[in-house]
C-alpha cells in the first residue's frame, strides 16, 4: 500500500516556479506567470515552460517517493535530495513515472529537483503507506538569477549539478532560476516580473544572447541594463543585486557581431552601468567580470566555445560560489 497524492495537494510545496498550470489530471510549473504569458515574447515561452531550478519540497518520514508524469521525449533527469544531500537521480525521457526507494530513515526535508529540459507535467506523487507529510515552510533567503542558456544549463549532468543549483545548495538559498535558453535580451516584461517576485538577492548574468543575436547595440545596451535595474528596484530597492558579464567565448572575444559589439565591449558597458547606478544612490549594486568565473583557462570546458559541458557547469557553480555569492549574501 502507498499514500497517493494529487499534484495540487497543499502539502506539496512547489518552489522556484513563478506559476502553475493546472490541466486535466496534471500540474505543470512555469517560470513566467502562466495567465499572463501572452505578454511575453513568444520565443521565450518554450524555455519558460521548462522547470529549470524548480523543486517539489515537503517534510516526511517516507522511505520512498514515486511520481506519475506525462511522458516527454528528451526530458532531463530528476534528482531527489534529503536534508540537502542528493540521494538519487532518475532518467525521465519518454517515461511516465519515476521512483526513489531507500530514503534515509526519520522525518526529513525531501526535495525533488525537477528536470531543466522538457515540460514536467505531474499527475501524482506516492509515498510510503502511513508516512507523515507536511509542507515545507522555507526560511532560506530567496535568490533570483536571470540569464541565458548558460543559466538554463541544459547540458548539466542533472538538476542539482546546474550552476544555479550548486550555488543554491552550497549557500542554503531558495532559488528561482530565470535562465531562458537563447532568450536573455533584457525584455522589459522580464524586469517587471522580477520586480514583483519575492527576493532577498538578485543576479543578472547578461550579454551572450544580446551579442549573439545583435538585439542591442553599443548605443542601447547600457541604457537597457540601467532601465531594467531601475524597474527591478521599484520592488526591491535595497537587496544586493549583481551584474555578471559574459564568461569566456573565444570567437566573440575578438569578432564583432552585426552591430559591432564584442564581449570585451559588453563587459565595459556593464561595469559602467553598475558604476553609474552606484553614483546615483544605489550602494547595493555590484559588477562581476564573467572572466573571473570562467575565463580562457577553462576553454577546454566549452566544447562549442559558448556553453560549458557538464564538468564546466560544476566548475562555474563552484567559482560563482567563491567569487560572487558573498556579494549577494555577505
What value does the mean pLDDT take over residues 238-242?
Answer: 97
All domains of the chain in start order, with CATH: 2-128 (2.60.120.260), 142-328 (3.40.50.1110)
Tell me how far apart the alpha carbons of residues 198 and 182 are, in angstroms, rounded to a whole number: 25
Average pLDDT, the chain: 97
Burial class (CB in 10 A: 0-12, 13-18, 19+), 321: middle
Tell me how far apart the alpha carbons of residues 70 and 269 are, in angstroms, rounded to a whole number: 44
β-bridge pairing 78-82 and 201-205: unpaired
Tell me how far apart the alpha carbons of residues 301 and 315 are, in angstroms, rounded to a whole number: 9
Burial class (CB in 10 A: 0-12, 13-18, 19+), 101: exposed
* Percent of the chain scoring above 70 in pLDDT: 100
Are the CB atoms for 65 and 11 separated by under 8 Å? no
Q: For the chain, how far is it from start to end, CA to CA, in angstroms?
A: 48
pLDDT tens figures, 30-70: 999 999 999 999 999 999 999 999 999 999 999 999 999 99
Tell me how far apart the alpha carbons of residues 34 and 48 are, in angstroms, rounded to a whole number: 9
Quote the pTM value.
Answer: 0.97
pLDDT tens figures, 70-123: 999 999 999 999 999 999 999 999 999 999 999 999 999 999 999 999 999 999
How big is the chain, counted in residues? 330
- Looking up cell 545583435 gives 214
Amino acid at each position: 500500500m502507498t499514500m497517493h497524492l494529487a499534484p495540487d495537494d497543499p502539502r506539496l510545496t512547489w518552489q522556484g516556479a513563478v506559476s502553475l498550470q493546472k490541466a486535466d489530471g496534471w500540474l505543470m510549473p512555469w517560470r513566467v506567470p502562466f495567465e499572463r504569458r501572452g505578454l511575453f515574447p513568444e520565443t521565450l515561452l518554450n524555455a519558460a515552460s521548462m522547470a529549470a531550478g524548480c523543486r517539489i519540497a515537503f517534510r516526511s518520514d517516507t522511505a520512498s517517493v514515486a511520481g506519475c508524469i506525462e511522458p516527454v521525449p528528451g526530458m532531463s533527469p530528476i534528482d531527489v535530495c534529503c536534508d540537502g544531500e542528493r540521494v538519487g537521480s532518475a532518467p525521465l525521457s519518454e517515461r511516465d513515472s519515476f521512483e526513489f526507494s531507500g530514503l534515509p530513515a526519520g522525518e526529513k526535508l525531501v526535495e525533488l529537483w525537477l528536470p531543466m529540459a522538457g515540460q514536467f507535467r505531474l499527475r501524482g506523487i506516492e509515498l510510503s503507506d502511513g508516512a507523515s507529510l507536511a509542507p515545507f515552510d522555507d526560511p532560506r533567503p530567496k535568490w533570483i538569477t536571470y540569464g541565458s542558456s548558460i543559466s538554463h544549463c541544459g547540458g548539466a549532468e542533472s538538476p542539482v549539478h546546474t550552476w544555479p543549483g550548486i550555488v543554491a545548495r552550497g549557500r542554503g538559498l531558495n532559488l528561482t532560476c530565470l535562465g531562458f535558453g537563447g532568450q536573455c535580451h533584457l525584455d522589459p516584461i522580464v524586469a517587471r516580473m522580477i520586480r514583483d517576485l519575492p527576493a532577498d538577492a538578485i543576479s543578472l548574468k547578461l550579454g551572450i544572447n544580446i551579442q549573439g543575436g545583435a538585439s542591442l547595440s553599443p548605443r542601447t545596451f547600457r541604457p537597457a541594463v540601467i532601465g531594467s535595474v531601475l524597474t527591478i528596484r521599484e520592488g526591491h530597492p535595497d537587496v544586493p543585486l549583481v551584474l555578471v558579464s559574459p564568461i569566456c567565448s573565444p570567437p566573440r572575444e575578438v569578432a564583432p557581431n552585426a552591430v559591432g559589439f564584442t564581449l570585451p565591449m559588453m563587459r565595459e558597458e556593464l561595469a559602467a552601468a553598475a558604476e553609474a547606478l552606484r553614483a546615483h544612490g544605489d550602494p547595493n549594486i555590484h559588477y562581476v567580470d564573467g572572466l573571473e568565473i570562467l575565463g580562457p583557462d577553462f576553454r577546454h570546458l566549452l566544447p562549442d566555445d559558448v556553453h560549458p559541458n557538464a564538468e564546466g557547469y560544476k566548475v562555474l557553480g563552484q567559482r560563482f560560489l567563491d567569487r560572487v555569492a558573498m556579494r549577494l549574501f555577505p
